[in-house]
Structure 1
């Protein structure tokens, strides 16, 4: 076959360009440290790298969520610890206020500190997280959860929901617990109304009934929806009767008759239907008292528990009735404060469990990221020894092509014409 001069030149230039392109590509791989410079270099590996990159981007988002959730839950746990400390101090004040030797000025001093502790609790329960969201307003992070009403009572304005943060592809963790669950949904020990019959001849008083056995109290509610009464047959003996039985004398509840040893009565406790109450003073034959279930007072908020104690101490006067009222309000507060403390500890336990889940998920995502990076490195990172050897070979080929091109380009029939 015949090869034209133009064809020879074109073939030589094409070979030089191809060899130069190979050297240039290898040099670029060495300078970047990447084996894949374009998807065309390895389409399958390029698709896999794209998937791994997307997964790493999602993991970065999950890491952000994990950090936000951990910060929020840690802040909430710190606030609850402070709330627990305040409750403990309020309980100490309640125990102190139950001392019968205190007068109204002493109780007033205790009430003054209670007012400060009340404000402290309000501020703690209205705390925000690092993002400016209220910690205890449920899913309504922009709504202040607790407000003080004009009459001094407190109202919860949040909801009972919870904000969730995604920390993995199918894992969510709750942050911003409901203040209703943490501080409002507290079982009220003083959910029994006790009354003194206006016709009583004696000077006996009855304390507010305290629920000491929830299961027995629920049975009491079902069995005696209208309540029960206490009737004295002397200043020592009494029996309980069902208020639905209007007979006179009322029909006694089976096995309910009892008596007191002291005369006059002093700190005498009566227990019935999971309820405990105290009768003080000297009842007369025929005196009556009633106990009725107050279904509207099943729950009590922490702030209102503290407020009730403070108001009760402020109102207590220096008299036997005042001392009895102070002792009554103190007993109620102590029982409810214990319930509130248990509720706060329960929420702290749930936060601890969620923090454990977050830590486990964080470790898992970190491990997955390490595996992904190892796979990415295997797919796209350059094998330097192989690349350097290849570049040496390609450089030799390029030099040979250049030298051969010079010789071939110098061949011409005209060189042999004289």
Structure 2
């Protein structure tokens, strides 16, 4: 077989170039100890490295998210702790105000300090983070969560949305605690009321306080189904309670409705999960016939009716206002009125729709209607409208069911009760004591609700520690797997490089030897 000089040189050059390229590549690998630089080096390994790189990026993001959550939880816990200390001081003032030796001046001093506590609480509950966002507003970080109304009550302006960040595969964690959950949902123990029905003019002989809920379970299971109740005093030692149907339910009352007229101190009447304070104040001359003095007094007794707060939406086409709202059909109200608040939207000057809040593009009305005179009735609630609404007018409607109470309202009510002089009037003192009892109960409830919020923060913090350990283990495993696929074994690379260098030298030597076999070398 004859091999031309051109073929020889081409074959030798290709072999040399191949060996030279192998040496260069092995030299670079020996220098960097990186085996896979491109997908061509190892297609399967490169694909796996891409997946591992994406996982590493996610783990870095999880770590960043956990740092953010940890900082937010730390600030939230610190603020909650401060609020807890302030509430404990308010409770101490309330307990002190119940001291029989306190004068009006002493109670007014406590009221003054409670006013300062009220302002301090409002400031703490409207705390901002390092980015200027309110920490208790939910997703409405630019809106102050709590504001004081013109009547001295407080409103929550945030929402109930938690801001969640992923901290692991298929696991997210809330960065925030909403003011709604922590401060707005404290059980209101003072959510029933009594009203004197006879005699027509209060003679001060019988004082029956608004009820204090002592058992939420019994209250919900039994009390609500029979209200309103009538409390009738049959004599100076016996009362009777009848439910809305007229059924005598006195047997469910503590001591079967027996009380004492000779004891000037408050007596507790317990009925279906509610405790009432009863005071009998016999007057001069009543001792001869106390039964005649007390018999005939009666009260109505039931849960406080739901109240509504309405506000005009900015940008309404008209200047119309909703000035009042009240339940006029309890059946319709309980069946369809949105529990979380509503939006009353006018489609014309007379037609309107009622939506569950918040109103979105997909919202469907829960009720529709037409204004009758100045009244718009929807879902059992009658709204009083002042002015002529325009198409597109919207009014936000919030509902106070009195089941829960903002701790700011509790402190404010307690402050007002202590600031009101009693002038040593027994009836006024009894009313003040009832208000203090209600305040203590609601402060205790508020502190308990705050404790739940603190526990939630602590639980998330503990979960962060656990998840941090898990993520660190995954980072270590990810790093090791990437190294096993991408990195080279130094001994293997050096052995291969030495072999390739020897082969390159051999190809050079072979080329020079064969080149000397040409015809011209024989001339």
TM value normalised by structure 2:
0.73
Alpha carbons of structure 1 residues 229 and 400: separation in structure 2 relative to 1, 3 Å: same
Larger CA deviation: 108-117 vs 380-389: 108-117
Counterparts of 1:345 and 1:310 in 2: how far apart (Å)? 23
Q: How does 1:276-295 map to 2 (within 5 A)?
A: 276-283=275-282, 284-290=293-299, 291-295=301-305
Alpha carbons of structure 1 residues 245 and 361: separation in structure 2 relative to 1, 3 Å: closer
Counterparts of 2:303 and 2:504 in 1: how far apart (Å)? 101
Residue equivalent to 2:169: 169
Residue equivalent to 1:75: 75
Counterparts of 2:272 and 2:521 in 1: how far apart (Å)? 128
- TM-superposed CA distance for 1:331, in Å, is 0.7
- Asked if 1:253 is matched to 2:250, the reply is yes
Residue equivalent to 1:271: 270
**Larger RCO (CA under 8 A, 6+ residues apart):** 1
Are 2:267 and 2:277, in contact at CA under 8 Å, matched by a contact in 1?
yes
Residue equivalent to 1:382: 488
RMSD across aligned positions (CA): 2.5
Residue equivalent to 1:14: 14
Counterparts of 1:255 and 1:225 in 2: how far apart (Å)? 14
Alpha carbons of structure 1 residues 239 and 219: separation in structure 2 relative to 1, 3 Å: farther
Deviations 1:154-174 (A, max 9, x none): 100122232222222311222
Q: How does 1:314-393 map to 2 (within 5 A)?
A: 314-320=419-425, 321-393=427-499
Find 1:209's aligned residue among 205, 208, 211. 211
- TM-superposed CA distance for 1:384, in Å, is 0.3
Counterparts of 2:187 and 2:445 in 1: how far apart (Å)? 7
Deviations 1:254-281 (A, max 9, x none): 4755444462522222222222222334
- TM-superposed CA distance for 1:414, in Å, is 2.6
Residue equivalent to 1:395: 501
- TM-superposed CA distance for 1:141, in Å, is 3.2
Computing the radius of gyration from Cα coordinates, the structure with the larger value is 1
Alpha carbons of structure 1 residues 28 and 160: separation in structure 2 relative to 1, 3 Å: same
Are 2:136 and 2:178, in contact at CA under 8 Å, matched by a contact in 1?
yes
- TM-superposed CA distance for 1:131, in Å, is 4.8
The runs of 5 or more residues in structure 2 that have no matched partner are 283-292, 307-401
Counterparts of 1:184 and 1:287 in 2: how far apart (Å)? 41
Secondary structure of 2:155's partner? strand
- TM-superposed CA distance for 1:201, in Å, is 4.1
Alpha carbons of structure 1 residues 221 and 260: separation in structure 2 relative to 1, 3 Å: closer
Are 1:226 and 1:244, in contact at CA under 8 Å, matched by a contact in 2?
yes
Secondary structure of 1:186's partner? coil
TM value normalised by structure 1:
0.89
Larger CA deviation: 124-133 vs 37-46: 124-133
The runs of 5 or more residues in structure 1 that have no matched partner are none
- TM-superposed CA distance for 1:335, in Å, is 0.4
Name the count of aligned residue pairs: 412
- Asked if 1:307 is matched to 2:407, the reply is no
Counterparts of 1:400 and 1:191 in 2: how far apart (Å)? 100
